[in-house]
Homo-oligomer: A and B are copies of this chain.
Amino acid sequence: MKSFFHVKTVDQVLALVQEFHPLNAEDAPLAEACGRTLAESLVAREMVPEFDRSSMDGYAVRARDTFGTSEGLPGLFEVAGEVAMGTVPDLVVGPGQAARIWTGGMLPKGADAVVMLEYARGVDDHLVELCRPAAPFDHVVRRGEDVRPGQEMLPAGRRLRPQDVGLLAALGYSQVRVTRRPAAAILSTGDEVAPVDQVPGPGRVRDVNAYTLSALVEAAGGRAVRLGLIRDDREALLTHIQAGLDQADVVVLSGGSSVGVRDLTIDAFESIPGVEILVHGVAVSPGKPLIVARKGNQSLWGLPGHIVSALITGDLFLRPLLARLLGRETERRRPI
C-alpha cells in the first residue's frame, strides 16, 4: 500500500505546511483591521509629530532665559499670549517672554522649551514668574521624533493589535492592505454522527468536530464555511469535497478514525484530478490517522473523528497552515 510511505513526523508535516503560499492582499477599512494580518510592511509617509509639540501644560520659553532661576530666585517673564490648540501660533516668543501653552499645543516661534505650569506663578495678566530652569527641548516632542518618513513601522505578516491600529491611524491609513482571510470548508463524516440539535439515539454521537474546528479556524483568523454532515458514502464524499474546493482554500473532513473510513477518505482525495497525497499518518498520539493532500495551493485534510484527536491535530497543523496562508510572522506554538 503506497500510502505507508506518507507517514510523517510532526515536524515534517509542519514543514509541508510552509510550502503553501500566502493568499493575495485586499484592502480593509481601518475600523475593521484589528486581528487582520498586514500584507505589506508599513512604511511611514510622514513625520509624527508634524510639528514641535508641548508634552505638558505650561509656558513656552527660550530655554536660555530660564537658566539660573529657582524657587528662591524666580525669573520674571512677559506673557506674549496663549497658543490655541490645533492652530499655528501667530505669536513669537522673544527674549524674556513666555507663551501659555497646553499639552499637544504647537511650540511658537522663538521658543525651544516648556516650563510646567506647576513652576509658574502669575503676577498679573501680563507677567509670570517661572522658578525652574529648562534645558532646550524640555517637555517638547520634536518634529519627527516619533516617526520619520521611510521608517518601517510594522512588518508584513503582523497580526494587528489595538495599538497597531492606533499607529496606522496616526500615520493616516484609513485603509490597510491585509491578507485575505483563508476560507476553510468544514465537513463531518460518519454514519454514527448526528446533528447537535438532535438526540443522537442509541449507537450515535453528536457532531462536535464541526463546531470545534469552525471555532478554531475563526480564532486563527480564517473563515469557516460549514458544509454539514455527510454519510460514509463515496459519492456524497466526492460531491462535498468538490463543493469545498470550489469555495475554500482548505477542505477539512473530520470523522472516520476507522481504517475503512480512512480508506474511503484517501480514495476520495486521490480520485480528484490534480490532488496529491502529502501525509497519511503522523507520529503523534492522539492524532495518528491524519491525512493531508494538496491541489495547487489548496489543501485537503482528513482529521480523525475522535474529538480530542481532531482538536489536537487542528491545533497542531491547521492553525500553522492558516498562519502560513495569512503570511503571518512566525508564531510560537501556544497552548489552546
* A104 contact from B50, B84, B190, B196, Cβ within 8 A: B190
CB of B161 within 8 A of CB of A211, answer no
Residues from chain B with Cβ under 8 Å of A105 in the complex: 192, 203
* In the assembled complex, A38 has its CB within 8 A of some CB on chain B: no
Which residues, 281 to 323 on A, are CB-close (under 8 Å) to B?
Answer: 305-307, 311
The digit string for A183-217, where 1 denotes a CB below 8 A from any CB of B, is 00000001111101111101111111111111110
CA distance A86 to B167 in the complex (A): 55
CB of B203 within 8 A of CB of A257, answer no
CA distance A104 to B193 in the complex (A): 10
* In the assembled complex, A1 has its CB within 8 A of some CB on chain B: no
The digit string for A95-138, where 1 denotes a CB below 8 A from any CB of B, is 00000001111100000000001000000000000000000000
CB of B211 within 8 A of CB of A166, answer yes
Select the stretch in A14-22, A170-178, A245-253 that faces chain B.
A170-178
CB of B212 within 8 A of CB of A307, answer no
CB of B169 within 8 A of CB of A212, answer yes
* In the assembled complex, A151 has its CB within 8 A of some CB on chain B: no
State how many copies of this chain the complex holds: 2
CB of A106 within 8 A of CB of B202, answer yes
CB of A85 within 8 A of CB of B170, answer no
CB of A85 within 8 A of CB of B190, answer yes
CB of B50 within 8 A of CB of A166, answer no
Smallest beta-carbon distance A259→chain B, Å: 6
* In the assembled complex, A23 has its CB within 8 A of some CB on chain B: no
* In the assembled complex, A226 has its CB within 8 A of some CB on chain B: yes
Counting chain A residues whose Cβ lies within 8 A of the other chain, the interface size class is 35 or more
* In the assembled complex, A330 has its CB within 8 A of some CB on chain B: no
Smallest Cβ-Cβ distance to A214: which chain B residue = B31
With contacts A172-B196, A214-B31 taken as known, whether A208 is within 8 angstroms of B57 at the C-beta atoms is no
With contacts A31-B211, A172-B196 taken as known, whether A203 is within 8 angstroms of B106 at the C-beta atoms is yes
* A258 contact from B103, B208, B214, Cβ within 8 A: B103
The digit string for A255-292, where 1 denotes a CB below 8 A from any CB of B, is 00111110000000000000000000000000000000
CB of B259 within 8 A of CB of A50, answer no
* In the assembled complex, A40 has its CB within 8 A of some CB on chain B: no
21 inter-chain pairs at a CB distance below 8 angstroms, sorted by A residue, are A31-B211, A34-B218, A53-B205, A57-B259, A85-B192, A85-B232, A86-B190, A86-B194, A86-B203, A88-B202, A102-B261, A104-B192, A104-B257, A104-B305, A161-B219, A162-B336, A165-B215, A169-B208, A169-B211, A170-B205, A172-B199
Given contacts A86-B204, A87-B203, A103-B305, 13 further A-B contacts (CB under 8 A): A35-B219, A55-B306, A57-B258, A85-B203, A85-B232, A86-B192, A103-B306, A105-B203, A163-B311, A163-B336, A165-B212, A168-B211, A170-B205
